[in-house]
Amino acid sequence: MCKLQKSLHGLKQASRQRYAKLSDTLRDVGFQHSKNNYSLFCKRQGSCIVLFTVYVDDTVVTGNNPDEINALNAFLDNKFKIKDLDELNYLGMEVTKFSNGVALTQRKFALDLLKEFHCHNLPPTSCPLGPLFKGDTAEDHFADLTSYRKLVG
């Protein structure tokens, strides 16, 4: 019989244990959980704000004080050996930076969905589901409910 001293990658509880450890560490350095989003942490000191969010096994750090962000990254690297991927470009959605802000899009997701349902070469239309469902009766339109459900999410 072996007693595990820490969770191992690949176990069902590994991600939960990793998140619990990360949450405790962030709380120890002054971060608070958002009341609206369980994966978002916030730290405020006067006019300085740092936001930290977790997405699966990736994290995003942003704020209005580069020194605080760099200090947090150094602390997390010392504690967890993180890998900084530099500027955020894609995390479940595309991130495009402009001089006056940031745009979040799901362009890649939409294009992948169009390719999966063989609609990427179709001309634009105001009713995109038209070409997908051809048949004489309502039953014919929804013969494969799995594909329809996948398409509409």
Alpha helices in 35-106 (DSSP H): 66-80
Taken in order 94, 92, 81, 69, the sign of the CA dihedral is: positive
Domain ranges of the chain: 14-92, 107-152
Q: Could you identify the residue written with the tokens 């998140």?
A: 19
Q: Which two tokens stand for residue 98?
A: 């402009």
The pTM score is 0.60
Q: 14-92 — its CATH code?
A: 3.30.310
The tens-digit pLDDT sequence of the chain (153 residues) is 445 555 555 666 777 778 888 899 999 999 999 888 888 999 998 899 999 888 777 788 888 988 998 899 899 888 888 877 777 777 667 888 888 887 888 888 888 888 888 888 888 777 655 555 555 554 555 566 777 677 676
Pick from 16, 13, 48, 55: nearest CA to 31: 48
What is the C-alpha to C-alpha distance for residues 7 and 110, in angstroms, rounded to an integer? 36
